[in-house]
Amino acid sequence: SMGSERTEMRKRQMSTTQDTPGAAQAQLSTGNRGSNACCFCWCCCCSCSCLTVRNQDEERARTTSHELQAEGIPNCEESPAPTLEEVNAWAQSFDKLMLTPAGRNAFREFLRTEFSEENMLFWMACEELKQESNKSVIEEKARLIYEDYISILSPKEVSLDSRVREVINRNMLEPSQHTFDDAQLQIYTLMHRDSYPRFMNSAIYKDLLRSLSEKPIEA
């Protein structure tokens, strides 16, 4: 009886000894997989690479935004999504298009495709200048507008006739909120007569109109 018990104990010890290396090896293998998840796990690898790319894109976007602000280029105006009624109203007159931020944003997107976005940017800068009352701020903003949109050295120079340029040069001796009124009107008229008809026939406008027309009416 005692002999059989010793034999049984030896078998158990041998069994335990044989199992231990296998368990240790399995644990080591599992540990290796865990430490190199990106090498063996498609999901983890995809996630890691996506996070890296996303972080790079966000950093690039922040840099671009900072550069635009430094150059004095305003970002698109914040506005709610336009309704079908509003988009239809844009076709009635250029004035109705320019009255709403959503209309100006859509028209500005179109101007960008024609490389004439500076016309809208100049018009918006003039509108912003009219809201100022502080003399030093007015002078600084007028100087920036002149450098950005009037100077022949600027890549964003708008197209103005010589008469309007002479008026601006006189007004710049003592800048005010209305220094660029004549120029702003001339650019507004140019956009109205030249760009607005093409915008109404553009894919940008038609696609927006179609998407709103096909949207189901909420009860």
pLDDT of residue 42: 38
Say whether pLDDT at 26 is over 80: no
Per residue in 83-99, pLDDT tens? 999 999 999 999 999 99
- Domains of the chain in sequence order: 84-214 (1.10.167.10)
pLDDT mean over 66-75: 42
- Res. 156 pLDDT band, cuts 50 70 90: very high
Q: Between residues 136 and 41, which one has the greater pLDDT? A: 136
- Can you give the pLDDT at residue 80? 81
Tell whether the model's pLDDT for residue 148 goes beyond 90: yes
Q: What is the three-state SS of the chain?
A: CHHHHHHHHHHHHHHHHHHHHHHHHHHHHHHHHHHCHHHHCHHHHHHHHHHHHHHHHHHHHHHHHHHHHHCCCCCCCCCCCCCHHHHHHHCCCHHHHHHCHHHHHHHHHHHHHCCCHHHHHHHHHHHHHHCCCCHHHHHHHHHHHHHHHHCCCCCCCCCCCHHHHHHHHHHCCCCCCCCCHHHHHHHHHHHHHHHHHHHHCCHHHHHHHHHHHHCCCCC
Please tell me the pTM assigned to this model.
0.64
Residue 214: pLDDT band with limits 50, 70, 90: confident
The per-residue pLDDT for range 161-209, each reduced to its tens digit, is: 999 999 999 999 999 999 999 999 999 999 999 999 999 999 999 999 9
